[in-house]
Structure 1
Amino acid sequence: MPSETFVVDWLLASDPAIRWQVLRDLLDAPEPVWSAERQKVEREGWGAKLLSFQDPDGQWAGGSFLPSDFTREEWQATGQPWTATNFSLTQLREFGLDPRSESARRTVALIGANCRWDEGGQPFWEGEVEECINGRTVGDGAYFGVDVSPIVERLLGERQSDGGWNCERANGSMRSSFHTTINVLEGLLEYERATGGTEQSREARRSGEDYLLARHLMRRLSTGEPVDEKFMQFLHPNRWRFDVLRALDYFRASSLLTGAAPDMRLKEAIGYLRSRRLEDGRWPLDWRVSGRAWFVMDDGEGEPSRWVTLRALRVLKWWDGRQAEHAFA
């Protein structure tokens, strides 16, 4: 297998959205170094490109969840669209657009003034009705400095008895969903990072984590059988979809925030992640969701992916590092 230097150099020969995270998460560069690279997200590459598609009123594609000109017929023909405000904001958060930047502050204010949910017409920062959507809205709002505590309170009251969440709850579902739960967990983690959270939000996050951990991120609790083959296939952007790597990256972030040791119930998923590494040290993009998107950021399905590789390497760096710490403790 080629040296780690080859893979890191390949990652660095990319977009600022990738480079600053490589500097911080893989190379342990000092904050002034990675922060300077992060500032480029607003002005260069994917971040600047996505910002260039923003409407004058602060929205993207004229809508909150759906583009203003989108039809159900197009959804059936080509798939769910990803160009409206909700998914664009989440993408900017993943890129690492600095919340203190002029573009971020302007966007937050304009969306608050002009964006309304397709579902009920309520202001964007008040949240929607589906837990998946509200999980992302909490994550985006907390990251960009919005008070999203009312949405958090709503999510806390919508938890299922098994500890997680399901956006089909309103339609009678009594069991949690991997997809919904990871969206809510990421939102609650961002809220906790921004505010410290509340006793209730921290407890809810722990119960959601336990829902996934009890199932080893991939197995049915009742039979131990795999839940869904798609969970084992890595994609980017994930949008609302769960996969094992997304969950591992969440647990890494949770551990780094709280100082908790890695949970041994992640061991099977870590082993699977290692097994998917290509001979050249990178990881492939297994698939990409269909539907409208502003642009693509990978070379195609089956090809090495910088986003997947970045996430995989920082998960393994965290896992191996924490295991070593505890071995010598």
Structure 2
Amino acid sequence: WTNPEAIVTEFINITGIVVLQAGTGLAGRVWERGYPQWIADLSGDTDFGLNSSAARSGLRSAFAFPIQSGNEMLGVMSFFGREKLPPDENLLQMMAAMGNQLGQFVKRKQAEAALKKQQEKSERLLLNILPKSIADRLKEEQTIADSFDAVTVLFADLVGFTEMSAHLSPIEVVEQLNGIFSEFDRLTEKYKLEKIKTIGDAYMVVGGLPEVRVDHAEIIADMALEMQAAIVNINKTTQQKFAIRVGINTGSVVAGVIGTKKFIYDLWGDTVNTASRMESHGQPGHIQVTENTYKILRDRYKFEERGLIPVKGKGEMRTFWLVGKT
């Protein structure tokens, strides 16, 4: 801050770039000693003198006081004047009191900023676990449970990964899975789907909730096809022979949050179980879908009929291989 009538450009420019150490200069002396300082005549001060930028700018006296909270030094506020002025103890005491008030204000703002940063971090972690709409509701509701009439569920499993991991170090196992699942996560974001969970080397994702979407089957089909393409690219990079088995089903589900520790947003119902069966009864490198999903997608995607297959807990079911888009 400067008086608009004061022309002290050189002094302002220099003080804007100078780096002071404790004990050096007016501010440095106040920082080191922790109490106000008054210089009645800058020309006779060891840190200024006649050749200082302050003297060349016509400044003759100065005082400064610490901004502190308790014993913690937070800053120094300095004032310079054009006249030689003797020390004013009352003014210094008043400014010292002001410095303490400023210090408390600064500490409070620092605490508020730290709290906000921690809250934002906690919010980001929460949104990595739950959909935003569910996380917002969970702050107000104890129980989250919703029914959805039409969603499409996808399960994908890395074929043979368990056997392969027996020959890898723990770090290599995690790195391999992280690389593959991170690519799947990218596709989930791309298609605005909801990743539900990973179970070992299996990946579960759903379209059509928590926000209802009419194209839930289409976006799941697109993701499944891109997952297969992603595995091919990963194999080229890693020189591995990964393959995924994918199962898809469409129907109604119940979704909600369970648990009080390490809680998750999960799905229940026959639709989920059947999608899981489509994966486990499928074949490596293939995407097996139920007749429910096939009927929704058959006009826009290419399929090969697999025929009737025995499905655990369901009996015989007519299933199809999703092979591409028309």
TM-score class, shorter-chain normalisation, is: under 0.3
Higher relative contact order (CA 8 A, sep 6+): 1
Q: TM-score with structure 2 length normalisation?
A: 0.21
> As a proportion of its length, which structure holds more strand?
2
Whose helix proportion is higher, 1 or 2?
A: 1
Larger radius of gyration between Structure 1 and Structure 2: 2
